[in-house]
Amino acid sequence: MRWIPFFILLYLATALQAAHLGQLSAAGYFHIEYLPLLAIFYAMFAATDSAPLACFWCGLVYDLTSSGPLGLQAILLAMIGLGIIPIRKHIFRANPVSQAVLTCLGVLLFMIARSLVEWLVFPMAGGAWGRIGLATQAGLIASSTLYTALVAPGLFRLLFLLGSLLGFETRLRRV
């Protein structure tokens, strides 16, 4: 894996995440989670030893650009990356359906775990988390997860056009 193109993609994904590019609703529904999407891409296609580190970097940058507790997203994305690595040996990674399903599961687990930790930890730390209700939070999680999963195969295909630059094999095979 080549780290300089990864950090360039990480910078681009951070800019897209902060700009809410592709958001279909002013209320926050149906937005693409670019940083978890990049983490899942690297978890699916990068080398086994560098994929968790790439996921951790995606989460750390997500932490630095969000208002949540520092380290939460980094740990969650690294754990999701570690969970995807054994699964990727048993699927056809080039299949768009496999990409969409893994992205859906990864983003769903990430967003639910993040919401649960914020819901449990913020009141204990003296913060006020109750800005939005449970139904609204569930709607945000469901809509963003589905929208990110639907967009993922197209973005993965776009990233694979840069395959040799990123250090990936252009011809995927089941290993």
Could you list the pLDDT tens digit for every one of the 175 residues in the chain?
788 989 999 999 999 988 887 777 666 678 889 999 999 999 998 889 999 999 999 999 999 998 777 889 999 999 999 999 999 888 888 899 999 999 999 999 999 999 888 877 766 655 555 566 778 888 889 999 999 999 999 999 998 888 777 776 655 455 4
Instruction: Give the pLDDT score at 57.
Output: 97
b/e per residue, 77-99, with b = 16+ CB within 10 A? Answer: bbbbbebbbeebeebebbeeebb
Q: Is residue 144 part of a domain?
A: yes
Answer whether 145's CB lies under 8 Å from 101's CB. Answer: no
Q: Is residue 173 part of a domain?
A: no
- Say whether 154 sits in a helix, a strand or coil: helix
- State the Rg of the chain over Cα: 16
Q: Is residue 15 part of a domain?
A: no
5: Cβ contacts below 8 Å, ≥ 6 apart: 162, 165, 166, 167
Q: Is residue 23 part of a domain?
A: no
Q: Is residue 19 part of a domain?
A: no
Instruction: Give the pLDDT score at 131.
Output: 61
User: What separation in angstroms does the CA of 86 have from each of 44, 56, 80, 120, 173?
Assistant: 10, 17, 11, 30, 16
Instruction: Give the pLDDT score at 62.
Output: 94
What is the distance between the alpha carbons of residues 102 and 105, in angstroms, rounded to a whole number? Answer: 5
**Residue span of the structural domain in which 53 resides:** 3-10+29-164
What is the distance between the alpha carbons of residues 105 and 88, in angstroms, rounded to a whole number? Answer: 13
Instruction: Give the pLDDT score at 116.
Output: 87
Instruction: Give the pLDDT score at 21.
Output: 79
Instruction: Give the pLDDT score at 175.
Output: 47
Instruction: Give the pLDDT score at 136.
Output: 82
Number of domains in the chain: 1
Q: Is residue 143 part of a domain?
A: yes
Q: Is residue 152 part of a domain?
A: yes
Q: Is residue 61 part of a domain?
A: yes
